[in-house]
Amino acid sequence: MDAARLYAAVAAGGFRRYATYRAATAAGVFTNTVFGLILVYTYLALWEERPHLGGYDQAQAVTFVWLGQALYATLAIQGGGFETELMERIRTGDVAIDLYRPADLQLWWLANDLGRALFQLLGRGVIPFAFGVLFFPTALPDDPMTWLAFLVALALAMIVSFAIRFLVALSGFWLLDGTGALQAMMVTGIFCSGMALPLNAFPGPLGEVVRALPWAAQLQMPADVLMGQTDALPAFAFQAVWAVALMAAGRLLQGAATRRVVVQGG
């Protein structure tokens, strides 16, 4: 119970921390709405030429766009979560303080990131999504159970997102500069998550590969669960397998990093 209260407090702290950045949140809402408009009209033109591309009709394609804009910051698909701060703490040696805390390093940052993600969903994601639903035809379910399944898929997506970024952040124990790793994560996140184009629309072997990668668990799976393109249980299983595998990999890499005791600058 003490550990649960600790991590709940860390999550609440992460939520409150991002809630203080009101100007940045407002700017993010505006940016996501504008990019959503650009993508919607691009998708409408594309789906006009290629009806039912990837198994979506136009309303589903529009829904995918606005869901992506709602989850862009929530899932930190291009970064912007804890990973930059953790890499800086590794570089300066402040991570040694983190390792002395009466808390697990991985779980501490997971709780912190879940708090951040929840705020980004409510503070930055809801308004662009509501705007899209209000002004464009969308394909949203009426069944409350479908929405509940979507929330489960979203929670699993948050864990997968964290686990990917935690692995990238831990590379700071071996790299002098983590900029390259962060940039590679940004590009991969956009391409492989479906943020640029639904993964269902990728052709042939390329589509099969990207749909099997962990990034598919972030946006593609929750979107398909919400729009009824896939059954919930197989989607949950796909996400859970990647969440467990990546969290376990992070645990192993954390152990190797702390045993090596290589802290840049300290």
Query: Distance between CA atoms of 143 and 14, rounded to whole angstroms?
Result: 32
Give the closest residue to 154 by CA, choosing from 257, 95, 224, 79.
Answer: 224
Find out whether 238 and 221 touch, Cβ atoms under 8 Å.
Answer: yes
Q: What would the pLDDT profile of 82-129 be if each residue is shown by its tens digit?
A: 899 999 888 888 888 888 888 889 999 999 999 999 999 999 999 999
User: At 1, is the pLDDT very low, low, confident or very high (cuts 50, 70, 90)?
Assistant: low
Query: Distance between CA atoms of 264 and 169, rounded to whole angstroms?
Result: 13
- Lowest-confidence region among 115-119, 238-242, 256-260: 256-260
Residues in CB range of 138: below 8 A, 6 or more apart:
59, 62, 63, 66, 132
Confidence check: pLDDT of 266 > 50: no
Q: Which residue has the higher pLDDT, 251 or 2?
A: 251
User: At 213, is the pLDDT very low, low, confident or very high (cuts 50, 70, 90)?
Assistant: very high
Residues in CB range of 31: below 8 A, 6 or more apart:
none
User: At 265, is the pLDDT very low, low, confident or very high (cuts 50, 70, 90)?
Assistant: very low
Percent share of the chain, pLDDT over 90: 71
Q: What would the pLDDT profile of 41-50 be if each residue is shown by its tens digit?
A: 999 999 999 9
